[in-house]
Amino acid sequence: MENIVYFTGAGFSAGLGVPVMSNFIEKSKDLYFSDPVKFNNFTEIYDMMRKMSFIKSYINSDMLNIEEVLSLIEMESYVAGTGLVDKYKDYIKAVISHYTPVCKPKPDIKGTNYTSFYSSLVSEEYVNYEKFFLTLNGCRLIREQLDNSSEPWIYFSEPAEDNSHCYSIITVNYDLVIENIYSSINGALENDFKLNIDSDGPHISKLHGSLNSEIVMPTWNKRSSSEISGEWKKAYTFLKEANQIRILGYSLPQSDNYIKYLFAVAINASENLRNIDVITLDDENGSTEDRYSNFFVFPKLRFKNDSLENYLRFILQDGTIPQLQNHNRKQIYDFANVLENTRTGHEKYMIS
């Protein structure tokens, strides 16, 4: 069994409109001014940011970067007892929740007039994400009309017989994009075999926590609970056992030394790591690629300056999902091993 780890950063969800560190404050202010009463709890955070802006008179600090601002706020809270920690956790949760588009089963997916073959079970903006996670599960998706043309279509899934890859996901994102997609897919399925995270699906580690549980701030202060410690231990195991590591939408910022240390100790314990591939957008100076090449001396590191949308569009284009059966009233789509297809999958993308 080939062990493949996907490591995802903010760029993984950015295509859905979820804020990244560089535009978080700007988007939060758009949200605040759209309804100052509803989001009046933001004002205390903004007041603290304005006070912090005086720091620029003494040191070079980027006050438009949420990570730097929150680090300063947390430092003041830590040493001076200002007590804003829980408030800015709520602030982060509110902004991310608002900008994460709703993912739900298509309302007409089972209708008798829904004549197209499989395209997506869920909201259209999630179509490539949905296909991506179905491939990570390596399942089969069946679309069937049980009786006659007046009957609605039903969808159900079953395990694939020849899935030869085991996928894991490590993410630094708080959002619930992954969880919402799985919930929506399962909402469209009729059978008892549901797609789950960690059991019959890809294993997942959320290093900074999640909106539906505890979150750890993206700051200098990495105090963590036993729950978060467990996530880091899982991530270490995933990386240590990986044959391939694929990094999506993560710029390896200089402030994330703790992530670098995780990579370092896990790869040091690895026995059969063959490839490290990075797909993320770079700036015009190539500074992101430089950070990767300066940190990793692994000879099989490959870097592509590209968006997640282009990556998913390439490997999940029309025709890449094999049909095992295609009759008027029944189609079977096999998502197992699609990412590893030598003609259209990940490797083809990397050398294209």
In a shared domain, residues 11 and 38: no
In a shared domain, residues 86 and 121: no
Structural domains of the chain, count? 2
In a shared domain, residues 241 and 93: no
Q: Is the pLDDT of residue 21 over 90?
A: no
pLDDT at 50: 82
In a shared domain, residues 178 and 325: yes
In a shared domain, residues 74 and 109: no
| 79 CB neighbour count, 10 Å cutoff | 8
Give me 235's structure tokens.
């991530």
Decide which of 37 and 86 is more confident: 37
pLDDT at 10: 94
pLDDT at 151: 63
- Dump pLDDT digits (tens) for 261-297: 999 999 999 989 999 999 999 999 999 999 999 999 9
The domain of 39 spans 21-99
- Dump pLDDT digits (tens) for 185-221: 888 777 666 676 765 668 999 999 999 988 887 665 6
Last residue of a domain, one of 84, 99, 114: 99
pLDDT at 350: 96
Last residue of a domain, one of 68, 99, 130: 99
- Dump pLDDT digits (tens) for 49-74: 787 777 766 777 676 677 777 777 77
Closest by Cα among 29, 2, 96, 22 to 249: 22
In a shared domain, residues 65 and 158: no
| Sequence-ordered list of residues with C-beta below 8 angstroms from that of 327, at least 6 positions apart, any chain | none
Give me 70's structure tokens.
């929150």
In a shared domain, residues 176 and 303: yes
In a shared domain, residues 174 and 137: yes
In a shared domain, residues 90 and 133: no
- Dump pLDDT digits (tens) for 213-262: 888 876 656 555 677 888 999 999 999 999 999 999 999 988 788 899 99
In a shared domain, residues 201 and 330: yes
Mean predicted lDDT score pLDDT of the chain: 85
pLDDT at 16: 94
Percent of the chain with pLDDT over 90: 43
In a shared domain, residues 89 and 195: no
Last residue of a domain, one of 99, 131, 165: 99
In a shared domain, residues 215 and 335: yes
Distances (CA, A) of 243 to 4, 205, 284, 334: 6, 18, 32, 23
Closest by Cα among 326, 318, 325, 322 to 340: 322
